[in-house]
Amino acid sequence: MIHEQLSVLLVVIPLLAAPITAMFNKLSWSWLITLLVCASCCFFSAWLLMDVANGEIIHYELGGWAPPWGIEYRIDALNALVALIVCIIALCTTIYSRKSVEQEILPYQHGMFYAAFQLCFLGLLGITLTGDIFNVFVFLEISSLASYALIAMGKNRKALTSSFHYLVLGTLGATFFLIGVGLAYAATGTLNMDDLAAKLPLVENIQMVHTAFALIIVGLALKAAIYPLHLWLPNAYSYAPTVISIFLSATATKVAIYVLIRCLFNVFSLEYVLTTWLPQIMTVLGAVAILYGSVRAIGQTGMKKMLAYSSVAQIGYMIMGIGFLSQQGLTASIVHLFNHALMKGALFMAAGLYIYRVNTATFENLKGMGREMPYTFFAMLIAALSLIGVPGTVGFVSKWQLINAALEQQQWGMVVIILLGSLLAIVYVWKLVEVLYFQSAEKIRVQGVESGSERIGSSPLGMTSAMWILALACIYFGFNTELTLGTAGTAVDLLFSAGGTK
Amino acid sequence: MRDNLILRVTARILIPIIILFALYVQFHGDYSPGGGFQAGVIFSSAILLYALAFGLDTAAKVVPNQALIATASLGVLLYAGTGVVSLFFGGEFLNYSLLADEPTTGQHIGIIIIELGVGLTVAAIMLLIFFTFARRILN
């Protein structure tokens, strides 16, 4: 019985647990509940992925209402892979979170914090699993509203303004998406993705469909922080509580990119996308994002903000891969989506450990901390090398795919930009290494108060082990690409065959 | 707060009627316009009127913050719980038809319970929002 209900259980478990967590306002209980929720979701999503890895598609009718009218969950290799990475990151984040939350979040907010975390988690899972485009909007709002609240809980007062900034831009993006969905509904009379895909070609040339397409893409681009629309990201990620920085940087934008892929290939067909300028725009924006994000990352003076700008660059790689509109390019994007979640998660966890120990993550205060905390430094180094794309790490796998995709289409300029992006990544990673390892520690005074004076002597086991899990995963998936490349290959085959039959 | 006799007397007459109307909108929602969300908002407006007429502290005694959080959570649990019950009966999540022998009866029961959950959550959240901002301004 449980087998048929797997897809909905992923959403139902956090939905049941979140209100219970909100009622318990004790850290230990809410942490334990969240841990159980994430662990079971992780298990179920792995099971789900095994079911669909061979190219099968699971349909689940919510409430027993048949698809074009009722809401349908539709799971294939692509969304099972995205759901799995969201679950893995959520689980690692929860393992990591306990001490960090204790330090950063006010005691009376602990229950609410974990409840909102679970709501955000369930929203992201819902977005990935659903096959109904309006349902995507609903879950998008659930996860976004939860993340606005979570970001605002950051200790720094700037967390409030950056959360508000994100709220305004995020709402704008969601509204664009909703108007687009509304127009598509007006043109076709359906909200189901499969049904839309079947009916859109019949009305392809009316103005309303073009408008719907443009609005949906721009709305999602805002949510995914694609280059000119990335402005909310750096502040939101750097002032959020550490746990939330880890979780959101590794999942939120990825899920938006997943919806983008779904809309481009499944809802609007490949042929339709080819008639627009979008592929060229995406490739160019991806290239600009890579250069801009990396250059801005080099200029930062704080670790979290540097990582946030590096995220902007990494999103550029994914967008460029989608923009190639080739099987290999799309595979590269999907694999990078998975891999980037692993490495950014590990890097933000390392930043969080430094914050836990020194209370700040600005480079001035981090001088020499790498020698003081060698294990954290080493895990960070693995993830950072992966960010550059050194062979043997996950970053290499996806960049290699992307370069091959660019070579396949003889886009020499893009090859140069990908390589240049890696060079720039070396620069900012080196900056990090130099500050942490080669500069000698010194006491800094901020406005007369000695900052970094309240040091904590040791790193909690939960935090370090979660970080090491992700860091080792960076190496493991760098050698064993069966799960990532294999599943991404199946997913891409499905996406392209869906475009071919219509 | 200044003693405003007219406001208090009117509130005392109006509040029961508002609550009654909220309950009507709540439980008649599957036949006529209405439902949990509207009913929740109307219900919360009754308490809100009470708070305006008799003061924030008196209202907070009637509906303490902890109770509001618990009610809001219970509403969500009721909603999700109904879905899970239909899972246990072997159907899909939120498949009400299985809640009773007769599918139509099951659908009636299902929608009433679900809307009750929505009503509880909406009423509690509306009041939480009001109290949070009202306290902030007073402090």
- Residue A241 — left, alpha, or beta (φ > 0 → left; ψ -120 to 50 → alpha)? beta
Query: What distance in Å separates the CA atoms of residue A78 and residue A382, rounded to the nearest whole number?
Result: 27
Taking only the tens place, the pLDDT of each residue in A486-496 is 888 888 888 88
Contact A357, A451 (CB under 8 A): no
Cβ of A64 and B84 within 8 Å?
no
Tell me which residue of A21, A42, A41, A36 sits closest to A117, measured CA to CA: A21
DSSP annotation of A486 reads I
pLDDT (average), residues B78-86: 89
- Give the per-residue pLDDT at B38: 92
- Give the per-residue pLDDT at A498: 67
Task: Kindly report the number of other CB atoms within 10 A of residue A161's CB atom.
Answer: 13
Contact A24, A36 (CB under 8 A): no
- Give the per-residue pLDDT at B139: 63
Of B74, B80, B90, the CB nearest to A15: B80
Chain A residues close to B65, C-beta within 8 Å = none
For chain B, state the CA radius of gyration.
18
Give yes or no for residue B75 having a pLDDT over 60.
Answer: yes
Chain A residues close to B90, C-beta within 8 Å = 1
Chain A residues close to B77, C-beta within 8 Å = 16, 19-20
Residue A302: helix, strand or coil by DSSP? strand
Residue A457 lies in a domain: yes
Q: What are phi and psi of A192, to 5 degrees?
A: -75, 135
Give yes or no for residue A447 having a pLDDT over 70.
Answer: no
pLDDT (average), residues A358-377: 83
> Which of B68, B78, B88, B92 is the best mutation test for A, with the most CBs of A within 10 A?
B92
- Give the per-residue pLDDT at B25: 92
Residue A198 lies in a domain: no
Residue A440 lies in a domain: yes
Mean pLDDT, chain B, integer: 88
Residue A50 lies in a domain: no
Chain A residues close to B75, C-beta within 8 Å = 19
- Give the per-residue pLDDT at A500: 46
pTM: 0.92
Residue A448 lies in a domain: yes
pLDDT (average), residues A58-80: 85
Taking only the tens place, the pLDDT of each residue in A103-134 is 888 888 888 899 999 999 999 999 999 989 99
Taking only the tens place, the pLDDT of each residue in A96-110 is 998 888 888 888 888
- Give the per-residue pLDDT at B136: 77
Taking only the tens place, the pLDDT of each residue in A167-182 is 999 999 999 999 999 9
Cβ of B93 and A62 within 8 Å?
yes
Q: Tell me which chain B residue has its CA closest to the CA of residue A17.
A: B77
Gap from A4 CA to chain B (nearest CA, Å): 9
In chain A, % of residues over pLDDT 70: 95
- Give the per-residue pLDDT at A455: 61
Contact A336, A314 (CB under 8 A): yes
Cβ of A18 and B76 within 8 Å?
yes
Query: How many residues are recorded in chain A?
Result: 502
Residue A436 lies in a domain: yes
**Better pLDDT: A440 or A38:** A38
Taking only the tens place, the pLDDT of each residue in B31-43 is 888 888 999 999 9
Under the banding of pLDDT at 50, 70 and 90, the label for residue A359 is confident
Give yes or no for residue A239 having a pLDDT over 60.
Answer: yes
Residue A417 lies in a domain: yes
Of B70, B72, B93, the CB nearest to A8: B93
Taking only the tens place, the pLDDT of each residue in B88-135 is 887 788 888 888 888 888 888 888 899 999 999 999 999 999 998 888
Domain containing A475: what range? 277-502
Instruction: Find the DSSP H helices in A434-460.
Output: none
Of B73, B84, B87, the CB nearest to A23: B73
> How many structural domains compose chain A?
1
Chain A residues close to B83, C-beta within 8 Å = 12
Cβ of A63 and B76 within 8 Å?
no
Cβ of A19 and B77 within 8 Å?
yes
pLDDT (average), residues A353-370: 83
pLDDT (average), residues A442-462: 62
- Give the per-residue pLDDT at A444: 57
Residue A82: helix, strand or coil by DSSP? helix
Taking only the tens place, the pLDDT of each residue in A189-234 is 889 988 888 888 888 778 889 999 999 999 999 999 998 899 999 9
- Give the residue carrying structure tokens 């599957």: B30
Under the banding of pLDDT at 50, 70 and 90, the label for residue A7 is confident
Residue A228 lies in a domain: no
- Give the per-residue pLDDT at A448: 46
Q: Tell me which chain B residue has its CA closest to the CA of residue A21.
A: B73
